[in-house]
Structure 1
Amino acid sequence: MTAALTGIWTIASIELRQRVRGSAWYVLLGVFVALTLIVTIGATLALSYAPEPGSALYSIVVYFVLLLATLVTPALSGNAINGDRDAGTLATTQVTLVSTTQIVLGKFLAAWLSSLAFLVAAVPFIAYSFVLSEVPPLTVATSLGVLVIELAVVSAVGVGLSGLLRRPLFSVVVTYLVVALLSVGTLIAFGIAGTAIQSPVTATNRGIDWAQYEGDEVEYDPQTGLPRGAECTLVSTYEYNAPRFDYVWWLLAANPYVVVADAAPTAYDANDYPVDVFGWIKAGVRGVQQAPDLTPLWDECDPESWNGQGPSTRDLIENSTPSWFVGLAIHVVLGGALLVGAVGATRTPARRLSPGSRIA
């Protein structure tokens, strides 16, 4: 076990030393810090009039770090194996005592640690937003923990595809496409599928025949504003179609931004509304889980039916089904499967090799 871990760390340390040897790595970190600083200052100014600006600022900074890290990580991991193969250095590593599994896992570890460097660079901004906010420490620990796992998944996807695909440029592009599929594609698929599936809705309106209550002798109820003893005798119905997003809400479970928001515990204000972006995204996802009312009734004689008020946002979140663990499991299985595939594709001797390609 110790020898296996030593081999993995040896490969990872070599990869890391190669990354920090040039100036491009430090330039990239500098650009990352500069962009995060600009977003933090801009968000602070934009939220200065909010009742609890720090809570929203924290979630914005975390989301921006996730966005930039998922944009940078594919470039760091997408050519980890096939890049060495094209350069002719992979064969040199394969004839040593390290196994193919150690090579793949070592490159994955190096890519993961490289992506975590960007998270470490953003710690001052995260700490700044935390100091200004009333975000519970559990929310901070959960959101950052899920963020670390998501960066590991993106690193695993990049390294796995670099072992499965022969061309470095192609594997980097496919890694970006996978990240885009999870981040944006799930939203598009959710919107299209939910709109395509519709159910007929029959709405009923019951109203008062106000022609019967004209004149000064009519007495009105001061609480409802309706004539005393009024009856709703005018009934009308109309039909329309409603999208069924409750059938396809599970598509959002695979979105990494939804995973982070859904996993983070929610803080509420005095009106039971979330105080940060995490909470509002969670409320939106939990809200689309609810089936629409297919037979709504508006009764003018029943004041309770006038506003159509449903449960509070807090009740909606606490009485609905969380999905973050499903999405996280999907991501981990995806990354693990690609790493296993990369080990099989990189192992020597190769059983089958396509024309014009090399294994090492």
Structure 2
Amino acid sequence: LLVTLPLAVWCLGEGGLTFGRMLGVYAVMALLIGVICAVSLGLSALVPRTSTSGVLSHLLVFFLTVGTGVLFALLLQVTGEEVSGPGGFTTTEQRPERVWWMLAPNPFVVLADAAPATPTARVELIDGEVVETRAPSDLLGAMRAELRIYRLTAAERELGTGELGLGLAGLDGPPLWPTGLGIQLILAAGALILTERRLRTPSGNLPVGQRVA
């Protein structure tokens, strides 16, 4: 977090980032790092050997960041439905609203979805009509819009016209981050409880190869 702080301050000075958005992103990142540390501590307390607990911690991070995306893609193919199209042809319609929960625990998904959206502004068109537009999205904003589309039903997705319509619908769609953050906090709480019970003092003689750390 400290390494990326100078870049965030530079973006803040250039006007490409608001202070509230920067604070929100850093708060979510700190919380996610704390969750990973808590779960890793639980694995360290559960497994007596340092090397094994380290490998399990790396595998856990790999599963949360990569494995959830792979499982989501596989489930997306399994849960698709055959839909009759014009001319008697059938196509497979994907139903991401049924398997979006698989992506929810992904730390990148939680960060992108929980990050505050770019500010909106009212713009008057040539014909005098006033519309509300949103500033161009950054990487987190683009991910946020795409992720929230996954929670929309097929009928709701059809309301959007083209990529722009779906993007706007996604920005106003139901969020994923409360579910994902809730799952991660449950894992962290369980890991801390396990750590407290495993390392509770006073302790007797430890077996050979076991350490308290």
Query: What do the CA deviations read for 1:217-259 (whole angstroms, capped 9, x no partner)?
Result: xxxxxxxxxxxxxxxxxxx332122222221011111111111
Cα distance change on mapping 1:237 and 1:274 into 2, 3 Å: farther
Partner of 1:345: 198
Partners of 2:134 and 2:82 in 1: CA distance:
33
Deviation readout 1:176-218 (Å, 9 max, x if unpaired):
11111111111011001111111011123xxxxxxxxxxxxxx
2:76 partner amino acid = G
**What residue is the counterpart of 1:200 in the other structure?**
82
**Per-residue deviation, residues 147-170 of structure 1 (Å, max 9, x unmatched):** 111111111112111111100011
Q: Is 1:187 matched up with 2:40? A: no
Q: Given the alignment, which residue of 93, 99, 112 partners 1:248?
A: 99
Does 2:25 align with 1:172? no
One-letter amino acid of the structure 1 residue matched with residue 8 of structure 2:
I
Answer yes or no: is 1:330 the counterpart of 2:212.
no
Alignment partner, residue 170 of structure 2:
316
Hey, what does 2:7 align to over in structure 1? 125
Mapped partners of 1:137, 1:272: distance in 2: 18
In the superposition, the TM-score normalised over structure 1's length comes to 0.50
State the Cα RMSD in Å.
2.7
Question: Is the alpha carbon distance of 1:344 and 1:357 closer, same or farther for their aligned partners in structure 2, counting shifts above 3 Å?
Answer: farther
The amino acid that maps onto 2:150 is V
C-alpha displacement of 1:308: 5.2
Is the CA contact 1:268–1:314 (under 8 Å) kept in the aligned structure 2? Answer: no
Work out the CA distance in 2 between the residues paired with 1:309 and 1:172: 46
| Contact map agreement 2:149 2:166 (CA 8 A) in 1 | no
1:251-286 CA-partner distances (Å, limit 9, x unpaired): 111111111111111116886574201111111111
Partner of 1:266: 117
Amino acid at match of 1:245: P
Runs (5+) with no aligned partner, structure 1: 1-118, 205-235, 297-306
Q: Is the 8 A contact 2:71 2:102 kept in 1?
A: yes
- 8 Å Cα contact 1:164-1:345 kept in structure 2: yes
Q: Residue type matched to 1:342 in 2?
A: T
Q: Please say if 1:285 is aligned against 2:138.
A: no
Distance (Å, rounded) in 2 between the aligned partners of 1:308 and 1:238: 23
In the superposition, the TM-score normalised over structure 2's length comes to 0.81
Structure 1: distance between partners of 2:57 and 2:15: 35
2-side partners of 1:349 and 1:166: how far apart?
A: 18
Q: 1:266 to 1:308 in 2, by over 3 A?
A: closer
The 1:273–1:189 alpha-carbon spacing in structure 2 relative to 1, beyond 3 Å, is: farther
Using the alignment, how far apart are the partners of 1:358 and 1:147 within structure 2?
A: 32
**Structure 1 residue identity aligned to 2:167:** T
The unaligned stretches of length 5 or more in structure 2 are 124-132
The answer to whether structure 1 residue 143 and structure 2 residue 143 are counterparts is no
Partner of 1:110: none
Superposition map of 1:1-360 within 5 A:
119-204=1-86, 236-267=87-118, 272=134, 274-292=136-154, 309=162, 311=165, 313-318=167-172, 320-348=173-201, 358=210
Q: Comparing 131-140 with 178-187, which one deviates more in the overlay?
A: 131-140
Computing the radius of gyration from Cα coordinates, the structure with the larger value is: 1
Q: Do the aligned partners of 1:266 and 1:274 also contact (CA within 8 Å) in 2?
A: no
Is the CA contact 2:100–2:151 (under 8 Å) kept in the aligned structure 1? yes
